[in-house]
Amino acid sequence: MVGIDYSRSFVRAAKRLQQSGRHPFRLLEEGKITRPCVARIPSIIQRKRIRFLTGDALHLPKNLGTFDLVLAANLIDRLSDPAKFLTQVLPQFVKPGGLVLLTSPYTWSPDFTVGRHWLRNSFPSIQKLLRPKFRLLHRQDLPFLLREHRRKFQFTFADATVWKRTTSSH
């Protein structure tokens, strides 16, 4: 298994969690008040099975291999060219018959993606881009909660879609 993110600090935290199974951090309560916490990986998880890398999803190393499952979690609306990722990058890394799991709240922003590269009307656009090589198996809302501080949270529904790689390369 390989886990990739652009952020060095995210990858560093993931590696620390992998090595020791725990990661101390400070949780914001309000203003500048924080309290110490520890994130722990449940012992049932086999931490050695994954390799974490810093990398750009639009320029992945060609020798990464091919996979039974590729998960792109809340990624595509952070990319400069999401269509390129879906049509040119993804297919290279998914085995025939393999799966792709995409989740995204489609929070398009010029901070990450110039307007002409936004996937307007996101789901039909994704389906059109993936259709030649992937078939939709499942779609559902995936709620998640982001904590800003003790009294402020952001509740989001990502669109979660599962796609199967067809053997056809057309």
The whole-angstrom separation of Cα 48 and Cα 165 is 28
- Applying CB under 6 A, which part among 20-28, 38-46, 72-80, 147-155 lies near ligand SAM? 72-80
Question: Of 68, 78, 91, which is closest to residue 7 (Cα–Cα)?
Answer: 78
The whole-angstrom separation of Cα 65 and Cα 60 is 11
Minimum CB separation of residue 25 from ligand SAM in Å reads: 15
Asked if 57 is part of the footprint of ligand SAM (rule: CB under 6 A), the reply reads yes
Minimum CB separation of residue 143 from ligand SAM in Å reads: 13
Site string for ligand SAM, 17-56 (x = CB under 6 A): ---------------------------------------x
**Closer Cβ to ligand SAM, 30 or 56, answer by number:** 56
**Per-residue b or e along 32-47, where b marks 16 or more CB atoms closer than 10 Å to that residue's CB:** eeeeeeeeeeeeeeee
Which residues does 148 contact at the CB level (< 8 Å), separation at least 6? 28, 154
Residue from 2, 13, 53, 73 touching ligand SAM (CB under 6 A): that is 73
**Closer Cβ to ligand SAM, 121 or 154, answer by number:** 154
Q: What are the structure tokens assigned to 65, written together? A: 């291999």
Residues forming contacts to ligand SAM in the complex (CB under 6 A) are 5-7, 10, 56-58, 73-75, 78-79
